[in-house]
Amino acid sequence: QKNIGILTSGGDAQGMNPCVRAVVRMAIARKCRPFFIYEGYQGLVDGGDKIKQAKWTDVSGFLTSGGTMIGTARCKEFREIEGRRTGVYNLIKKGIDALVVIGGDGSLTGADKLRAEWPDHVAALEKDGRISKEDANKYRTLMIVGMVGSIDNDLASTDMTIGACSALERICESVDAILSTAMSHQRAFVVEVMGRHCGWLALNAAISTGADYLFIPEAPPKDDWEESMCKTLKASRDAGKRTSLVIVAEGALDRNLNPIKPDYIKDILSTRLGYDTRVTILGHVQRGGAPAHFDRFLGTMQGAEAIEAILRATPDTPSPVIGMLENKITTQPLKEAIELTGQVAQAIESKDFARAMALRSASFSK
């Protein structure tokens, strides 16, 4: 009978709650004991009543609610080795055998680090007399299972991250609303969407709302983009369209890696084309509200698989990340997913945009 800790970390995402619910209930169904760890890695570092056994009914209502009911946080201490050691101590003191982490790129990088360092932490805690020799032997390894809770859909190893579908849904609803007023007044709108360094939300929003122009970090525009953007928008208007819609990812860059900001685009459209142009930054509305059907489904399937992965694992099994590829729930090494994701950022930094795009696409079919 394993004791399984569960935490949500980093930026919240719709679908985290359904995932927590599935982990808790599947754990109980498989005769394990689930433990909530509140406020992400902060709860791990703080210990005490931040780590609490969860009952079946504690997750009632989780399936349909947005955000994360067990809280999330950005935890500075966990970035330092001492903070992670305190986390290890708290887990051992609570008798936790396995940890489920639902979070983004950063949270899973932290989880990967924790797993790699675990034996050293245990040895150091025993040496300092903070844990007994018996505990040091009993908790020689810790199984960590990751799931990607992120609206950005920015992690390699899964076609969809938990939350991306709901965020895209919200963006489409908001842009639809903007378009109806834009059309009445023949206005141009520049809409900034989230996604950090990933253009997935922006690209899919542009396709789904019929945007005229799009900026994403992986494919910066050619140097004279201002001119070509104006030409494209004007051609649309000349053909009878009453609005112009430009979607900008929050991480959009030009070829010199300078950010492309909505206000700059607005100035270009106002001065060169004379369009009445407005900027809308959608902001946190994108991550709020109830999860879409797909995120309820994805969170539930992956949460159940996380428990199976823990029960299948041996001490030598590499920590997995649960994903979904071609409609199948998958279990892949966490380390590889993190490394592959990091390569996209490196390609952008070195201005190898073709490679960034290729890696981003490859990560979906790997």
Binding-site positions for substrate: 150-152, 187, 194-196, 250, 278, 284-287
In the complex, the smallest distance separating the C-beta of residue 348 from ligand ADP, rounded to whole angstroms, is: 17
- H-assigned helices in 75-222: 81-93, 105-127, 133-138, 164-185, 200-209
Active-site residue, 152 included: yes
| Number of residues engaging ligand ADP in binding (CB under 6 A) | 17
User: Does 88 help bind ligand ADP (rule: CB under 6 A)?
Assistant: no
User: Does 30 help bind ligand ADP (rule: CB under 6 A)?
Assistant: no
DSSP letters of 84-110?
A: HHHHHHHHHHTT--EEEEEE-HHHHHH
Q: Which residues pair with 331 in a beta bridge?
A: 322
Pick the piece of the chain touching ligand ADP (CB under 6 A) from 72-80, 88-96, 243-251, 340-348.
72-80
The site string for ligand ADP over 293-332 (x = CB under 6 A, - otherwise) reads ----------------------------------------
Looking at the Cβ atoms of 74 and 234, the one nearer to ligand ADP is 74
User: Does 105 help bind ligand ADP (rule: CB under 6 A)?
Assistant: yes
Three-state DSSP class for 143?
Answer: strand
What do you get for the CA distance between the two ends of the chain, in Å? 34
Among 106, 119, 288, 318, binds ligand ADP (CB under 6 A): 106
User: Does 217 help bind ligand ADP (rule: CB under 6 A)?
Assistant: no
4, 313 Cβ separation under 8 angstroms: no
| Of 58, 97, 152, 212, catalytic | 152
Among 5, 11, 18, 320, binds ligand ADP (CB under 6 A): 11
243, 191 Cβ separation under 8 angstroms: no
User: Does 52 help bind ligand ADP (rule: CB under 6 A)?
Assistant: no
330, 304 Cβ separation under 8 angstroms: no
In the complex, the smallest distance separating the C-beta of residue 107 from ligand ADP, rounded to whole angstroms, is: 3
Among 9, 14, 204, 300, binds ligand ADP (CB under 6 A): 9
Among 17, 90, 109, 302, binds ligand ADP (CB under 6 A): 109
Among 52, 74, 93, 355, binds ligand ADP (CB under 6 A): 74
Radius of gyration of the chain (CA): 23
User: Does 75 help bind ligand ADP (rule: CB under 6 A)?
Assistant: yes
User: What's the Cα-to-Cα distance from 170 to each of 151, 193, 199, 288, 290, rounded to whole Å?
Assistant: 11, 11, 16, 9, 10
Looking at the Cβ atoms of 78 and 189, the one nearer to ligand ADP is 78
Secondary structure of 10-60 in the HEC alphabet? Answer: CCCCCCHHHHHHHHHHHHHHCCCEEEEECCCHHHHHHCHHHEEECCHHHHC
Looking at the Cβ atoms of 149 and 220, the one nearer to ligand ADP is 149
DSSP letters of 248-305?
A: EETT-B-TTS-B--HHHHHHHIIIII---EEEEE-GGGGG-SSPPHHHHHHHHHHHHH
Looking at the Cβ atoms of 243 and 341, the one nearer to ligand ADP is 341
- CA–CA dist 101, 82 (Å, integer): 20
Q: Supply the residues annotated as catalytic.
A: 152
In the complex, the residues that contact ligand ADP under the rule CB under 6 A are: 9-11, 41, 74-75, 78-79, 103-107, 109-110, 113, 150
